[in-house]
Structure formats: C-alpha cells, structure tokens
Amino acid sequence: MGRWNKVCVVGLGYIGLPTASILATKGYQVLGVDIAERTVEMINKGKIHIVEPDLDILVKSAVNSGNLRASLVPDKADVFIIAVPTPFKDSYKPDLSYVESATSAITPYLGEGNLVILESTSPVGTTDKVYLQILESRSELKGKIFIAHCPERVLPGQILKELVNNDRIIGGVDSRSAEEAKAFYETFVNGEIYTTNAKTAELTKLAENSFRDVNIAFANELSIICHELGINVWEVIKLANKHPRVNILQPGPGVGGHCIAVDPWFIVNAAPNHARLIRTARHVNDSKPAHIVERVKEKASRFKEPIIACLGLSFKADIDDLRESPAVEIVKMLANDNVGKLLVAEPHVKKLPDSLAKFAEIELTEFNDALHRADIVLLLVNHRAFKDVDRDLIKGKIVIDTRGMW
C-alpha cells in the first residue's frame, strides 16, 4: 500500500461497491459513502443491494474483516474515489450534478498529498472542473493534491474479474497526478496502466463506447432492412461474418445500460457540428424499440384480447440492471398503447420498476407461466434462463425473437 492506507469511495453502485470491496480485501481501510440510507445499512450488515456474481461473498468478507464500512458522509482519507452516476438531462445535455455534489462532500476532508480520482465516465473537461471546484473553497490546496480521471471499463456480470485484470487509462490534470494515480492502481490492478492527460482519458472512454454504439447501430439498421425485405437477418450476419475482415455484431431491441446509451451524447454535446455519425447511430438505436412495438402491434391485431409474454427487462443478459433498458421502454410503450395484457418474466428482479408497476395490464410472472398463457411471445433479453425453452409451450404461438436466441 505504501503511502496510502485509507480510501474513501463515494458512490456505492455497480462500480463503487466492487471497487471498495476489492480495495478492502487488499488491506486498505475503506469508507464507502452513499446518499441512500438503505444501501449504507445493508453494506454495514455485509449484504449487497445489487446483483453481481460473487460480490455478496466479497462484501461480507470485507465488512467482517473490519476493512470496509459504509457511511452517509465522507471522512479524511489518503485517496478519494468518485464513482457516481453521470446521466444526461433534457436535450441530451450532460448532468454533472452528482459529480459536483460528491466533490462538495469530500472537499472539507481533503489534505495535502491526497489523491482524488474521478472514475465516473464524464464529458471532456470534467476532471479539470472537479479540481477547480475544490480550489474554490480550498485554495490552499493548489498544487498540493493530485487529481486524475480513471474511467472504469468493466462488463456487468464480470465486474470483479475485469476491475482487476483489464488495462486501465489514467489521465491526470498534470503529469504528477497521473503518475501518482498509476502507482495507486498498480497496487490492485493486474492489467497494463497507461497514463495521459485528463481530457484525453475522458474522450478515450467516450470514444470506446461510441465505437460500440455505432457498430450496434449498423446491426440494428440491418435488422430493420431485413424485416422490410423478408430476409432472415441472423443468417445474413452469419454468412457476412464468414468474410475474414467482417465482424457484424448481433442486433437487438435497442441499446441500454449506463454507458453505451449515454456516453455518445457527451461527444455530440461537445462537438455538435462534427459528431454526425455518432449522433445518427444514437438515433438508430433509440428508434429500435418503436420498431419492435410496431411489429408486436401488427401481430396483436389478429387477436381480440391479445396476451403478450415479454421476456426480460434488464439491459443485457443475466443481470438485474434496468438502467436505460430498451426492454423496459418497449413494455412501457406497449402498455401506453393498450396493445394487450402484458406478462413480464424477469428472473433477476422481484418486483416491477415504478415506471411499469403503475400499469394494471402489466403482470410480473414466471417464465413458463408467461409462455403457457401468451398468444405472442416477445423475447427481449437473452437470459440463460430463457435459452432452453419448452417448444411445446410455444407451439402455435407467434414468436418475436429480438435477440436471435431461438
């Protein structure tokens, strides 16, 4: 650990909590901070409020060892990690209020030699703004603390493994900050660590997710074209990918999650006159749920009182994360348009999100029950639990498989 003993992690969500737990198991004294009282109480009991493989075991071990505790307020530490959400507001403008609040919360506890790391994926210039915000009330810390951006690069479902093994990019507000942050990450990261300036690190993370978004948009647009022409998109992609330099991704009902559905807008907002391809890709992926809804409506019109099984709500397979999920959006659109009775099967949640719970026509039920009762089966998420479907249960039913799973 060297010159660091205490770490304060602000934001105990899908990135903050795994990071805090890993650091605790490495021997750091870790204080996790969150604004949600229930989250703090659960973690202090060694329990977790999110679903991630093996995280429950890690948190319980970290808490029982005495190296991890949670609080509603920060305290003095050697390293401060900000891992709070960075969503967008109306007109796709970045919402930095969570970062600003977290910065305000830690500023009174900062001291000379402290390292402040922004892990939240952020618009270009955010790390510099964090530093300036700190200096507004603590001018005596100018040149005496280290500020860096180290964006996370993990895949939900594999967070604990990827936090440690993935390569990392660190951008400092100055070279000393970058090197200091690199030395800290080297104490628990096995992957390669590359240093640069803060703005380059910020844009690199945004570019990574925008690259993925553009490629997904190509696949989604191709699926819409194939539907129009009466061609099997899954066969087209399979055959096209036989070319040694072609690798078309798999289409789906849209793009969700806290990264790919959000981050490209940060680039568009920063350079609106030049980010034409990135903006178009976002519109293509955002329009895909409406295309799926129209397909369902077309099939539902054949029934007097259609019953539709909607399989999956999360934004990707085998997790409970519903953030920006196209599946949730599709179910909500179907309910708003009174298309029929909606039977939702989502094995990773115990209750419907508030945005869906208000609709009387939506019922959360088990997978096989939904299949048995439905006229139309709409596969929205390729959960492992849905893979081995009983073919007899869907015989004679209309099946719309948005993931090509079956």
Token reading at 173: 């507000």
Spatial distance between the Cα atoms of 55 and 284, rounded to a whole number of angstroms: 35
DSSP string, 113-161: T-EEEE-S---TTHHHHHHHHHHHH-GGGTTTSEEEE------TTSHHH
**Which residue among the candidates 8, 259, 288, 316 is catalytic per the annotation?**
259
Residue among 330, 326, 370 nearest 347 (CA): 370
Give the number of residues written for the chain: 406
The answer to whether 205 is a known catalytic residue is yes
- Helix residue ranges, H only, 271-378: 276-300, 326-336, 354-357, 367-373
3-state DSSP percent of the chain in helix, strand and coil, to 5: 45, 15, 40
Q: Which residues contact 120 (CB under 8 A, 6 or more apart)?
A: 11, 82, 83, 84, 85, 86, 98, 99, 126, 151
Nearest C-alpha neighbor of 324 from the set 406, 163, 213, 204: 213
* Nearest one of 296, 292, 315 to 381, comparing CA atoms: 315
**What is the distance, to the nearest Å, from the Cα of residue 282 to the centroid of all Cα atoms in its chain?**
16
DSSP string, 150-208: ------TTSHHHHHHHS-EEEEESSHHHHHHHHHHHTTT--S-EEEEEHHHHHHHHHHH
How many angstroms separate the CA atoms of 267 and 156, rounded? 23
User: Strand 68-71 relative to strand 79-82: parallel, antiparallel, unpaired?
Assistant: unpaired
Q: Which of 205, 288, 316, 332 is catalytic?
A: 205
On whether the CB atoms of residues 400 and 299 are closer than 8 A, the answer is yes
Residue 41, CA distances (Å) to 37, 307, 371 in order: 6, 41, 39
User: Between the CA atoms of 206, 207, 211 and 217, what dihedral angle is there, to the nearest 10 degrees?
Assistant: 50
259 is catalytic: yes
Q: Please list the active-site residues.
A: 205, 259
